[in-house]
Amino acid sequence: MKQRNCIVAQSGGPTVAINASLAGVISGVAESSVYHTVYGSLNGILGILNDELINLTELSKEQPDFLECLAKTPAMFLGSCRHKLPHYLDDDSSYVFLFQQFETYEIDAFFYIGGNDSMDTVLKLSEYGKKIGSPIRIIGIPKTVDNDLCMTDHTPGFGSAAKYLAASLLEIAHDTFIYAVKSVTIVEIMGRDAGWLTAAAALARNEYSDAPHLIYLPEVPFDPEDFLLDVKRLLFERNNIVIAVSEGLRDVSGNYISASEQSLDTFGHKQLSGVGKTLEFFVKEKLGVKVRSVEINVLQRCAAHLASATDLQEAAILGKKAVALSEEGVTASMVTINRISNTPYQVEYGYAEITHIANEAKSVPEEWISPNGNDVEQPLIDYLTPLIQGESHPTYKNGLPVYAGISHLLKYQ
């Protein structure tokens, strides 16, 4: 029976949940009546192009605790890439070779765990496969700390990033409230175009701390003068202000609030950094108070020691779901999470056509942002709260969390 195989790969930027989805795929294949072996493609789609595939089915059989540890390990066990396929009408050489590889390895399905750009690859492979009449199922499994993929209630990786961020914001609040002098702390949070992760800073608020006192999302044009008025007003009421800002803040003309060079990455995105520092110097100059900026940086996407148990669980289920759907013949799709209710938190798992997802992005709805653009509304907090519930409790050894070692087959370490 089990004569066919499949390939899984990971792509884009790291999250804490992307290996949980990988573990889900490996488990799904182990339980499958169709698939014999799942191969892991090293460095995303490049692994197939470079013929760098590892046998994950064997690997997981050799090491009994492997899957459990893998599911709690940050970033990509298989490595990643930022490789954009040309459209096959422009150059089909990669496609020809990829589908040859699928034949060589007796592949029935390819699973790509990734974000927006990876879903572009899923779309292109699906279109080419359809054109040549290939039976290979191509299925995307979402992940991104940005939470900006369409057709899914949220994306794996986001809940853990939100949890780490909210906990860090709470801890920064404790850190900043200790001095009896006027101070402003600006926390810069990831999210190029969507403010979901920045909004999660609001979860830090509790019965004794209302930090962050101001939240600025990239969905709203940023007005430095309005910002200054907000800060001034709050400094009348209290000594210490904590402000959450998205890395992607832009002014009304669309220019980034950023002091850094704006180089373009492979996908034509601007490489951002610096809004925190920019606003730090701005407030210091204008108001003369103590100002500190904190860029959470990559920690928000790799701090697996504080992962959301809900997030990791959902990520693993989506991996399994992708395997099951492929067996049913689903292709050209991405597996999705559909929320049934907030209280109690209930979801169901499904899929959506990749044409509705690739190259689209989901912003925070206007009605979930406060009218004056400096905070979020309760429905957004209600949406976010279930996603950070539960702790994943990694195993600790010698004082540090135990993660699955980055594959020794990765030559580039």
296, 352, 358, 380: which one binds a second copy (CB under 8 A): 296
Tokens 């197939």 label which residue?
Answer: 48
Is the CB of 4 or the CB of 182 nearer to a second copy?
Answer: 182
| Of residues 62, 44, 61, the one with CA closest to residue 53 | 44
The residue range among 62-70, 99-107, 243-251, 390-398 that interacts with a second copy, by the rule CB under 8 A, is 390-398
Q: Within the chain, how many helices (H) and strands (E) appear?
A: 13, 13
**Least CB distance from residue 178 to a second copy, whole Å?**
4
272 is an interface residue for a second copy by CB under 8 A:
no
**Least CB distance from residue 88 to a second copy, whole Å?**
24
Tokens 């951002």 label which residue?
Answer: 272
385 is an interface residue for a second copy by CB under 8 A:
yes
CB 355 within 8 A of CB 332: yes
Q: Which two tokens stand for residue 75?
A: 């970033």
**Least CB distance from residue 116 to a second copy, whole Å?**
17
Is the CB of 88 or the CB of 112 nearer to a second copy?
Answer: 112
- Name the catalytic one among 117, 120, 146, 311: 146
Is the CB of 201 or the CB of 323 nearer to a second copy?
Answer: 201
| Of residues 296, 305, 262, 304, the one with CA closest to residue 276 | 296
Q: Which two tokens stand for residue 13?
A: 């930027």
Whether 251 is catalytic is no
Strands (DSSP E) along 247-296, which ranges? 290-295
Q: Residue 10: in which H helix or E strand, if any?
A: strand 4-10
CB 198 within 8 A of CB 217: yes
206, 262, 346, 355: which one binds a second copy (CB under 8 A): 206
Provide the phi-psi class of 192: left if phi over 0, else alpha when psi is between -120 and 50, else beta: alpha
Task: Supply the residues annotated as catalytic.
Answer: 146
Residues that bind a second copy (CB under 8 A): 10, 14, 43, 46, 73-76, 79-82, 163, 166-168, 170-172, 174-181, 203-204, 206-209, 238-240, 292, 294-299, 301-306, 308, 385, 388-391, 396, 398-401, 403, 405-406, 408, 410-413
